[in-house]
Structure 1
Amino acid sequence: MPDKERRMFNPMDFNSRELLVRERVTMALGSSLSLPEMLEATRAPLLEFVQADAMALCLMHVAPTLDFRWHVPGPPIPILREYAGIVDHDFLRAPILAQPEVPICDTQLLSREEYERTHIYQRSLELEPRLEHILAVLVPIRSGLVGAVAFYRHERSPFSSQSITALSSLTRHLSNTLGNCHAYRDLTARTQLLQELYQRKDSAFLVLEPPTHEVFRSSHATALLERWFTPSDVHASGLPHVLKERLDALVRMDADSRLGKTLWISNHEEGYRTCRFVELPAGDGPRQWALLLTEFPHSIPLPLHMQHALTSRELDIARGVLRNWSNGQIADDLEISGQTVKTHVRNLFRKLGVDDRADFLYQVAHLNRPV
């Protein structure tokens, strides 16, 4: 069975050619915030890197009820069109749901004889192409939404440990890219920013060409920044020092180093202030970045579907986190140990598909916003 711990990228796992292919994958993942365009750009280098013949992405809403939609770049895979009728026969679905970010393949779960008796394999023989081997991984996107990325081989040649290692090294990139695509979809309609969404006085966005050129700012951006920062906090470019320093650092980082560093959050007496940094797809000119600014009140209720995913004790812990309490404060309030709180926090973040406290706060606040 696969290692349950998430494997981070280690350059020593790959030779020079594989590292070049992986670089092409990460570049393609940032080539577009349109999901279909991103998948098509990523398909060739990703199939080469994982050593597969075909791939597909299944977007699944897991709350309040399970539903799914398949996206298949390249030639169609007919069996996926009737997935609703065979979902109960998908032997990989439960294992990957149980172990997010851990790639799992058919040979780790079934013998060859067992696999050939599965409904999925038998149906693929009828529909073509033959799905001789399957490798899949679940990547969190945001609370209640996950993506299952599946790879297929049409010839009888099992996925190797190197294929699993290759896919493991990309899971956080896939999660980040799918999250950006969905965030951008929420903010755009036919590639135009939804001005209606940003008429709210607690939201704004800036589009910048680093290091200092401002391309555009939405209504309320100036008022919001003036409320958040004093004149002495602002750089000559008009961007607050703290946001400019974060943007400058992100621009200098490679794709792996940026993971987990694209959300700035500040706890103010009036509420939480957040800035999400999104690298926009490359165009004809310099690469641009969008800075999405939002503020939320301290009293953020936990969405109902999140409540249903947690135990009663985890709910107590989650409410403490939303009050911005430290693990020690939560432990004192609930009269339990700090280590127990730490374990509960880790478990509830895993269940909800969030990275850390800042991401948890951002996701909860985003889901509570009327848009």
Structure 2
Amino acid sequence: MGGPSLQLDAHEQGLVLELVETLGSSLNLSEVLDGAYGLLARLLPTDCAAMCVSQPELPGGYDWVVTRMPEAFVTHYGELSAVDFVREAVVHQPNVVLRDSEMVTPRALERTALYQRCHEIGFPMRHVMSVLLDVRGDWHGGLTLYRERQRPFSDNDRALLQRLTPMLVSTVRNCRLLGQQSRRAALLDTLFHHQGAECVVLAPSGREVMRTAHATALLEQWFSPLERGPGGLPLALLAPLARLSGARGLEAPPPDAWLREGPMRDLRVTYVPLPPDGAGRREWALLLRETPHGTPLPEAWRERLTPREAEVVSAVLRGWDNQLIADDLKCSLGTVKKHLQHVFDKLGVSSRAALLHHAARKQ
């Protein structure tokens, strides 16, 4: 992998400085890499190029951030990946730039399945330079540049891309970590503003990360001191998460909602998995919500409704909003609204208020 030291003229040095500034200009990955590619293409002229990052939530799937490729290549890459000698070569040497001559001999290139399939779809791939960007965690990125027959990549080309690789790795890592944190923050904001609910966020070990202002009072109201462990967290709420500890548990579905009944109202606790943090650890949000005892479902209505519609109406009569009903039934808000509209049509009412009024009159 040795070679001559990197040689750049004044114009190329200026482009490198501009590229470095662009890589640090934003934390929007697509925006940064699209802008950076424009400068990179002036330093390393290519006929085609692609850059993608893996998606942890879709093993084997790729998010194509930069595609200066024939559409057929991207469309068919799922089948091409199995014969992609470029991918096979760089995956064993992460963060090391390789040229086609270091992946396969020139004589053997035209016999590879990738070369033949690319020509079949109208992509005359000949010279390649690629690097796997190993950003740690369970995902990575990759940058591949292609040229046609008469323009092989030089030692200086490889040295330049190698010099830029640590900056590309850092950019991809920082942007993806910010994206994860932004999604976590948005979800937490939604949970914390969930109407009528309090929230406690726990680490996988059961250690508390944060809680909303009135969560403490709610826990003390519903759990005696003997029921609460260190930090005031009820052991009954921690037990379901303890059973999910370990790597395999993180992929398991959330525990069922926890319910404690009271004389006038109930306490319902819903377990919500949060997106993994930067180290891949999944935290849990416990949504705590009091719900008053509602009007029983009239038996005459039960005969006219489907079992699922009856569940929705019973929840409405307990004072639950659509989001809480959706969480309980593990369905979408849209599905709850459709059930309610069918209920309104069957019972001849026009609103939730009318539904509550008619149910009270039938008691």
TM-score, normalised to structure 2, is 0.50
For CA contacts below 8 A with separation 6 or more, give which structure has more relative contact order: 1
Larger radius of gyration: 2
